[in-house]
Structure formats: structure tokens, C-alpha cells
Structure 1
């Protein structure tokens, strides 16, 4: 099959949409399928990473902002319309130009600023359309829809999809790289006797508000042992990267700050506890049973966070202002070790790491 992906990353959007598409693309390529990417040249885009991973990339040009402000008036119904950077009609035409060539069997669309209007216009040059969504707030014209979030129900998309659209809903379909399934048994085994020696801190590829710095500040005031290791992971486009590096040098712990890592599964496996964002990495942590305090850093993360909290798979912080009190309370809890074990078991029961294979089987079946 030939598959094209339309997804964006930026300082505003973050990196999660492109990263999960890359995960699916790499799984497809491992089975002999050909994948290409179409992304816009936003500040903070991941074009270099996509090319580094060996995928063909069409990078759409940035828009004239004055033209955008006039032509976007009809798009106000979409809550994230400004994430696109151009009118949807212009994006559709540019995407069609990028698709000019041999027929694409599947177009995978992962973008909150695109809906059924765009999908109908672009579908004339592709075999089928698959949509990856999280928020169920707009209609789609597609053959397959994937929403990998806990707490989402298939009926949440009633009235938003064609009747024949197949809905792949829930973390059973979470798009994880194969190393997470490979490390799952090892990671779960080492959590049978929980301890707190190594903390992984990963708050998204951008972390525009520098929540990482806030977390480090709170930990510096805690009673953690000086022997505690802090493994801080950030994206290369994170605005506060240099500030965090300087902060790490004066902390009373063993701290490393890493950028653009390719061994996240190994880092999660080694972590006794994680402080992370409620994004796609949530399902990676669940697969490996990593006990987590998860931060809600965007409105579209609230629904999944509430479901994760109900399931007991993580401690959820809805507001950044609550971070210090919640983290101090958690770390000083006499039952902290038991809490780690309970969170690990609850998370591991949700995700087995085989979601990519399930999604690919549907792509092949429904072609």
C-alpha cells in the first residue's frame, strides 16, 4: 500500500500528532508499505525528524497572515482552525498538489483544524481516508476513524461520521512503537518491589509554559534523597530548554537533561515514577506500567485525564497551580510504595502495546 500522512507540529500545536503518525508509518514500512508525509512549515515543525527517519516529506509553505485573517472567517466553527495557519481550502489545494502522482491507497489525517469539508475535497485523489482524532468535535468524511483515548466511546462520534465508517476507539488501538511491547514484561517485572530511585520528567515536545522548570523547582524543595536520579526529557524546540539546563546544574540531585531521545521505552522501563503530560506518551507509560503523576497541559487532554484518574492509572493534576501541593503530598505519603504498585497494575491493564498492528490490519482489510 501507499499511505500519505497529513499532520502538523509546531510551538502552538506540539509534537504529538506527528509523532504518533511517525509511529504508525514506521510500523507500516516494516511490513513493506510506502509512506509519505505532508506537513506545514510552522515554527517548531518536525520536518527534519521526518526526513531523518527516511520518509519523503512535502513541506507546505507558511501563509500570508493578512490573507488568512480575511479568509478564515467562515472557519470559526472549528475550535482549532487557527492551528492550520491558512484557510482550509488553500490547505486542501496544496495537499492535492503534494499528492500529485501515483494513487495513494490511504490518506491518514491527524489535525484538529481539518474536517469533512477538507476530507471530501482531498479524497478525490486517494483511495480511502483515515482520521486520527481525540476530541469528537467536528464531522469527518472517512472510512476509518481512530480515537485511542480512554473514556472515549464509539457513540461519541454519532452524527459526525458516515454510517459505514469503522470506529477504532480506546487504548486497545494506541499507536506505540514495537519496543514498548518488547520491554513490557521486563518493565512490569521490576515493579513487583516498587522503590523510588529514578524519576522520569517528560512534559511534551514543546512545553511552552516551562512546566518542566516548575516540576524541578518543587522537587528541589522535597525530601527526596540526594541520590535520586532525575531523567529530564525535552524537545529540541522547547523554548525553555536552556533555562532548564541551567536549573538542573544547581539541583541537589543527579540530573540529566536529554533532547530528541530515541530510547524513550528504555527510559520509561528504568523509571520508578514519571511526571508527564497527558498526551500520547500516556499510553506508552501504561504499557510499561510506569506509575505516573500526569499534568493536563491542554483543554483537549481533560477528557482522557479524567478517565485515567477514574481507572487509577495515574495521579492527575488538572491545574498547574495545584502541582506543588499535590506532588509534596504524594511523595510524603506513607503508602507511596503501595500507590506506585497500584498505578502500575492499573495502567498495564489498559494497553498491551499491539495497537499499531490492530490498526494496520484494518487498513489492509478495508482497502
Structure 2
């Protein structure tokens, strides 16, 4: 499970635990993540879910895949004797066969997806991403009775992103963050680039998550940069975003955190599933997509940062356009309240 999925689940837990007992069923997670789940008030149950590339499945594999998912579902249900009200499925390796078995003890199933590459058996489907065809991507993939919550309006955002700080943003201050673990260490590569940035005065916050493995070498390099600060596993991301003119970062769920915080995004995509949304946002003047991490030269990244530092009006324009995408979401409980209202109305 990626760090973005974990943060999304934690946002859900914090809203649901006020009136419900919440369980998280997941394959093995790092200790620091299990600690966060425990602190959020959920009970963690470990299960074994195998990785499956749905895009590579042919007809000969379908029967085996269906049997495997049904087995996973039975393993999950073995931990529960009573009927459960609501199940959220947030996993790229699970589809309709899994949910079909889960229905024996689940009243309502909500699927969270953004790939639209497999059939779902659910009552509510949530895809918070922005695509040119986001309203029709799931045609033929969900039951006729399924309610869809589509687009950034339904992004799962933590409470901190609703605490708006109207401070004056510094035009020459920016953030760098590439997610919770940054396995390719793009963060350190960008810091190396910043040491060569001589033509423009700047300050910056460098943010890494709990899974980042290069903290010692990164810290040493940042110590040589005046006005650059390092933050690890910070719980105040929104505050940092609201003080910056732009943010150099990845796609994924951070798109909506940036949008809610009013900071422009200079995006380097780290995975194929980040490209489609990032391209659509770029085409709609809601971010600047620099390209994929494996196709960008250091000089390209350096020039993009320099241009952003000299273009505060453009950064404000991008941030304003992105903010409109999440504007209807005015409360940390908005998405959960919407789901529970659907459940109440049609149960």
C-alpha cells in the first residue's frame, strides 16, 4: 500500500471513528505506519493480498484470479462473526470477485479507485482524480445501482487542510516533496540541483516522509544551503504549503492537498498512474507538468525552478485554477457525510 493510500485511509478513520468501530485490513505494513493507525483509533488486522497486474491478465488467467480473490475475501471475513455496516476497498489488486464474497457480511461496499481497469461490485465508487473523461471512465465497470462520486470535489483531505491561513506568501519560497518514501531519491537529486541555482535568491522547505531512507546524506547537503530547511514526517504540511509560492513534487493525492492550500504545483510524475491526471491538470492550467522522472535532465528541472521563481503571477494563476476544483469540499467530513447520506437514503 502506497503512502498516499495510507494517508487517505487515516483521513477516513478519523471521520468514521466518531460514531463507528473501525477496522483496517491490510497486508504487512511498516511499524511507523501501524503506530499511526493505532493512534488514529482503528484496529489493524493483517491479511495477505498478492500483487496482480490487471493490465497483463488474459482470459486464461481470469479463472485463477477470481479464485484467488475469493480466497482473500474468505480470509478477511474469518475475523468477523457479526454483520458489518460498511466496507471501503482501496486496493489496486482487488475487484468484483473479492467484493462478491465480502457481501455475505457487508451491508454496503465503497470502492476507491483511479485506474478504471477492472470490474467492481460496489454500491458507491469514488475516484477523486481529474481526467478529461472522468465522468464516463467507469461506464460498464460498475453495477447499474452504483452511485459515483467523481472528481477532486471528493478528495480525502485531512483536517489540517481546512485551516486556512491567509498569510502573505513569499514569491521566492517553495517546497520540495515527493511523497512518503521517495524510493528513487528524487529529493536528494533536487537538493543537488539547488546547490547550482545561483541566479535567483530563494528559500525552501524540503519534506520527506517516514519511509525515506536517505535522511543522513540529505541532511548533510541541506546544511550547506542557506535558507533551506528539512522536515521529516511532519504533521503540518498544510501550513508549509500555505507559506509557499509553489511546490516541486509528485502527482497523486498531493495534487488536491496543494489545491486546497492554494499553492501552485510543478509536477514530476513518478509512476504511470500519475500521468493521465497530471496531464489533464496541466492542460487545464492547474499545474505545470515537467515530465516523468526518468526523462528529465537536471538542467530542465533547474530552469523550471528559476522560471517559477521569476513568475509569481503565473504561480498564483495556476494555484487559483486548481483551488476551484476542490472548492465545494468545505469540511473534513464532507466525503464521509456524503457516503453515509447515500447509505441512509438507499438502505
| TM-score between both structures, scaled by the size of structure 2 | 0.87
Cα distance in 2 for residues equivalent to 1:362 and 1:332: 42
* 2:168 matched residue in structure 1: 190
Give the C-alpha shift of residue 148 in structure 1: 0.4
Report runs of 4+ in structure 1 exceeding 4 Å deviation: 42-45, 72-76
Q: How many angstroms apart in 1 are the aligned matches of 2:72 and 2:270?
A: 28
Match of 1:232 in 2: 206
Q: How far off is 1:335 after superposition?
A: 5.2
Structure 2 residue aligned with 1:147: 127
- Other-structure match for 1:313: 286
Distance 1:327 1:52 in 2: 38
> Counterpart in 2 of 1:95?
76
> Which runs of 5 or more structure 1 residues have no equivalent in the other structure?
1-8
Residues 360 and 56 from structure 1, CA distance in 2 versus in 1: closer, same or farther, beyond 3 angstroms? same
1:111 counterpart = 2:111: no
- Which residue number corresponds to residue 341 of structure 2? 365
Shift in CA distance, 331/318, structure 1 to aligned 2, threshold 3 Å: closer
1:266 to 231, 239, 244: 239
- Kindly indicate whether the alpha-carbon contact (under 8 Å) linking 1:47 and 1:59 is maintained by their aligned counterparts in 2: no
Asked if residue 21 in structure 1 is aligned to residue 38 in structure 2, the reply is no
In the alignment, the residues of structure 2 paired with residue 360 and residue 43 of structure 1 have an alpha-carbon distance, to the nearest angstrom, of 27
Deviation at 1:76, TM superposition (A): 5.2
The residue that corresponds to 2:148 in the other structure is: 167
Write out per-residue CA displacement over residues 146-165 of structure 1, whole angstroms, 9 at most, x where no aligned residue: 00011152311011000110
**Residue correspondence of structure 1 range 288-307 to structure 2 within 5 A:** 288-307=261-280
Cα distance, 1:45 vs structure 2: 7.6
1:330 aligned residue: 304
Cα RMSD after superposing both structures: 2.8
Q: List per-residue Cα deviations over 1:204-260 (Å, max 9, x = no partner).
A: 11111011111111121112656x33212112222333332233233x333332222
1:342 Cα deviation after fit:
1.2
Change (3 A) 1:43 1:24: closer
Deviation of 1:34 (Å) = 2.9
Q: In 2, are the aligned partners of 1:44 and 1:237 still within 8 Å (CA)?
A: no
Q: How many residues align?
A: 333
Match of 1:3 in 2: none
Judge conservation of contact 1:208–1:240 (CA < 8 Å) in 2.
Answer: no
* 3-state SS of 1:150 partner: coil
- SS of the residue corresponding to residue 154 of structure 1 reads coil
Q: Find the partner of 1:223 among 173, 176, 198.
A: 198
Of 21-30 and 212-221, the range deviating more from structure 2: 21-30
Alignment CA distance shift 1:157-1:74 (3 Å): closer
Mapped partners of 1:199, 1:332: distance in 2: 11
The match for 2:317 is 342
The TM-score, its normalising length taken from structure 1, stands at 0.82
